[in-house]
């Protein structure tokens, strides 16, 4: 039997509890990363503005230099809260006390291993360590 084709019967309340817990962790990580992202954007903007203001108004500036002032390499954090909300909403509407879940659903809903997890981690983890406020809770 292949594990990816495995279906298990699980208690709806247990899965719902785990989903809500994982959603809260995701939300906290996203909010912390967003605060750090905003702070880093402001630092970068101030730096660019300082570079621009050091050049006299009559001084000619190459076009590629002006374009560099407007381009940022910071990757914005991404939120995937809607995935949690969709799953939570479906489970809350279910009348069944027990559910049949696939291995993929169990991985996402119970183990927090969604197919978008790598994208979230890459965009969010880059802000960990910039600030005492940011703490990667669990991913």
The 10s digit of each residue's pLDDT in 26-72 is 998 899 889 989 998 999 889 888 888 888 777 787 877 777 777 77
pLDDT band with cut points at 50, 70 and 90 for residue 81:
very high
Q: Give me the helices (H) in the chain, please.
A: 12-53, 63-70, 81-93, 103-109, 117-125
| Contact present, 12 and 97 (Cβ < 8 Å) | yes
> pTM (2 decimals)?
0.78
End-to-end CA distance of the chain: 28
Closest CA to 73 of 97, 109, 37: 37
Mean pLDDT (the chain) is 84
């Amino acid at each position: 039997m292949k594990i990816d084709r495995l279906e298990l019967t699980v208690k709806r309340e247990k899965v719902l509890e785990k989903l809500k817990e994982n959603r809260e962790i995701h939300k906290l990580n996203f909010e912390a990363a967003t605060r750090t992202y905003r702070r880093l954007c402001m630092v970068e903007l101030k730096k660019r503005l300082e570079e621009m203001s050091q050049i006299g108004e009559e001084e000619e500036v190459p076009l590629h230099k002006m374009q560099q002032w407007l381009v940022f390499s910071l990757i914005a954090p991404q939120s995937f809260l809607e995935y949690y909300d969709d799953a939570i909403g479906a489970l809350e509407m279910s009348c069944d006390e027990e559910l049949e879940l696939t291995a993929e659903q169990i991985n996402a809903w119970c183990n927090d291993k969604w197919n978008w997890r790598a994208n979230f981690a890459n965009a969010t983890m880059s802000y960990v360590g910039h600030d005492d406020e940011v703490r990667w809770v669990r991913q």
